[in-house]
Structure 1
Amino acid sequence: MSNFSLYQHELLTNHYHPKVNAYYFKQWDFHHMDFHAHKEVEIMYVINGQCVVEAEQETIQMKKGDVILLDANVPHRLLVEEGSPCRMLNIEFTFVSKVGSFPSIKELTDHSVSLNRFLVLKRPYVVFKDPDEIYHSLKTLVLELDNERSIQDPMVYLLFSQLLIQLSRMIINKDENEQYDLSQQSNVYVKQAVDYLHQNYDRDIQIKDVAIAVSLHSGYLHRIFKQQMKCTILDYLTRLRIQKAKMLLKETEIPVIEITHYVGVNSRQYFSMLFKKYTGQTPNEYRKLAKKSIQKMNY
């Protein structure tokens, strides 16, 4: 891969693994870094203290618990003032062609909606506050890298996959909270509606059923759901069903007619029409291609 951007389209079309090139804990007591850029994607985590990161002509004040994810080739610099030390955990990574059986980035996106959405954002950097999830994952990953410095073993891939999914969830959630100017209670209702859909997608669901479950008028729920999620309840439900169907087609031998009922669609013909509309393939075509892909990777 010639371009190591986190948002490189190749990550979603071919099979790559992340490769950590550098990682370190560092306390800066005073430091004015020159502007620089590198091919690695970088995660900078403030453990204690405060600092300033300048990127894309913007000055970003950072303090304990703040995280910045910088894409590859983005000019940036770190500023730490004298008398205000800053302890940080940094990790820099690129991507290499998949080796072995551990899932590639592309394969992870097939099972993580948030990671799929995150990898098409194409932002030079993202800043957010960590509720301690990212720090623990980063620290565990770095300690594992110290134990296996000469190889990238399965545990490293597992921890890195967890980190990417956690990052994507936090960033997508942050985007949704900033993008939609809804009251806190509205967010709660939408979350309850989403949870209900995830728990009941295998049933025949109508909007009124979701509204009853969250104790709202169906018209109001429809409006706030669409404002926040940028799709209707039924569209979200359909996408969810397609996602579950793809997993079952790829990972199991369950007949298509049974998968139709597993995901809450009563008609195989209608299910096939929906599946092709959202994926460009019939269920059988998708299963055959998925099986061929798995067979090739196993050789």
Structure 2
Amino acid sequence: MIIDQAQPFSGSLFQERLRTEDWGPQFFAYYYKQWDDYEMAYHTHDSTEIMYIITGMCRIDVMIADGSSEQVVLKKGQFILLDAGVPHRLLVQDGVPCRMLNVEFGFARTAPRHPSISQLALEEAAVHTLLTRPTPYLVLPDPEEVYHTMKSLVLELDQRLQREARNLTSPEQGTLVHTLFIQLLVRIARLRGEMEGSALDHTELYVKRAIEFMVHNMDRSIQVKDIAAAVNLHPGYLHRIFRNSTEQTPTEYLTMLRMEKAKMLLHQTNIPISEISDYVGVGSRPYFHMLFKKTTGMTPVQYRTSVERTQWRYPE
């Protein structure tokens, strides 16, 4: 989907005026695309581009200012941010398709009712740091926060375009687009800050992402291989760095999280004890009871009757 370019613009993310004046995003292209056996010629955009890998893998060649080139292999759950004017090309291997979501944007003066990038940079230190440290490209892993925001942004842009095509006005849609872009910029800036903060030991970032995946998915039957796939690591390597960092294996840590959640549900809700195991992703009730007693020294029944219950409960 292409949006008309209404006026000449400079699409670099690292312009000083973005930090000193009231500017906001202006979108020029956004699309989903499945690539297979493809080799793109070097080209540039007068816009900033984000390429997010949904499935598969690809290679991006980036030409640096000194004439040299750098190769970046991107896998599922990673994305690259390419600054305006940076020559690059996409290569996708035959038989290894790559599906991605692309968004290309520049900048334009923003209306008073819309949040500006300069206002955001004043409030969010990570964004200010991102905007003041130019780089031709940035590659980051994503715990799905960037992807979900990009999907919402693209959906809103499409709906806005459809309304405009029917000659309908909807100022709120414009505000929402700006808000989603602000969220996207904050998430990218914070991810970059996390990466740089753990530059001496990237394993800490992988461990953090693994724990986040556990927290978000502990109600399902997940294994170490699923956690490793979510953070793009080999299961054996994840096991090693996780134990070095937490003094627990991923399985032990996941069990701890599940038992803590079970304790909370037993204490603060009236959910039947027979159903608690399903809420914490332990399919076998006898196994859940065994794990719970091993962890707390009590059965779930004993725990529920021993703790002081709160006033609030789920309806019977």
The offset of 1:106, in angstroms, is 0.2
1:181 shift after superposition: 5.3
**Who wins on radius of gyration, i.e. which is larger?**
2
The 1-side partners of 2:188 and 2:174 are apart by 21
Q: Which residue number in structure 1 is paired with residue 29 of structure 2? A: 22
Q: Which residue of 2 aligns with 1:283?
A: none
How far does residue 3 in structure 1 lie from its aligned partner after superposition?
A: 3.2
Which runs of 4 or more aligned residues in structure 1 lie more than 6 Å from their structure 2 counterparts after TM superposition? none
**2:53 maps to 1:46:** yes
Question: Where do residues 86-165 of structure 1 align in structure 2 (5 Å cutoff)?
Answer: 86-149=98-161, 150=164, 153-165=174-186
| Structure 2: gaps spanning 5 or more residues | 1-7, 64-68, 165-169, 209-316
Please state how far the C-alpha of 1:103 moved relative to its aligned partner: 1.5
Quote the residue 1:226 is aligned against.
none
1:153 and 1:51 map into 2 onto residues whose CA distance is 33
Query: Is contact 2:195–2:202 with CA below 8 Å preserved after alignment?
Result: no
Show the counterpart of 1:64.
Answer: 76
Aligned equivalents of 2:75 and 2:201: distance in 1? Answer: 26
| 1:287 match | none
SS at match of 1:82: coil
* SS, match of residue 38 in structure 1: coil
- Asked if the contact 2:115/2:179 (under 8 Å) is kept, the reply is no
**Alignment RMSD:** 2.2
Report the counterpart of residue 255 of structure 2 in structure 1.
none
Once structures 1 and 2 are overlaid, which stretch shifts more, 39-48 or 151-160? 151-160
Cα distance between partner residues in 2 of 1:182 and 1:5: 28
**Amino acid paired to 1:177:** S
State the distance in 1 between where 2:204 and 2:146 align: 24
CA contact (8 A) 2:83 2:136 kept: yes
Whole-angstrom distance in 1 between the partners of 2:60 and 2:32: 17
**1:219-238 → structure 2 map (5 Å cutoff):** none
Distance 2:23 2:45 in 1: 19
Identity of aligned residues (%): 42
Aligned residue runs from structure 1 range 171-186, under 5 A = 171-178=192-199, 180=200
Q: Determine if contact 2:59/2:71 at 8 Å carries over to the other structure.
A: yes
Q: Using a 3 Å threshold, how does the CA distance of structure 1 residues 119 and 63 change in structure 2: closer, same or farther?
A: same
| Residue identity matched to 2:193 | I
**1:110 Cα deviation (Å)?**
1.2
Residues 124-178 of structure 1: per-residue CA shift (max 9 Å, x gap): 0000111111110001110111110147611101111100000100011111211
Corresponding residue pairs, total: 186
Which residue matches 1:169? 190
**2:178 and 2:202 mapped to 1: Cα distance?**
38
Query: Cα gap change, 1:184/1:147 in structure 2, threshold over 3 Å: closer, same or farther?
Result: closer
> 1:7 deviation in Å?
0.5
Letter of the aligned partner of 1:141 in structure 2?
A: L
What runs of 5+ residues in structure 1 fail to find an aligned partner? 189-299
Work out the CA distance in 2 between the residues paired with 1:3 and 1:41: 9
Answering whether residue 19 of structure 2 is matched by residue 12 of structure 1, we say yes
For 2:10 and 2:112, the matched residues in 1 are separated by 22
Structural mapping, 1:32-43, within 5 Å: 32-43=39-50
Q: Distance in 1 between matches of 2:176 and 2:105?
A: 16
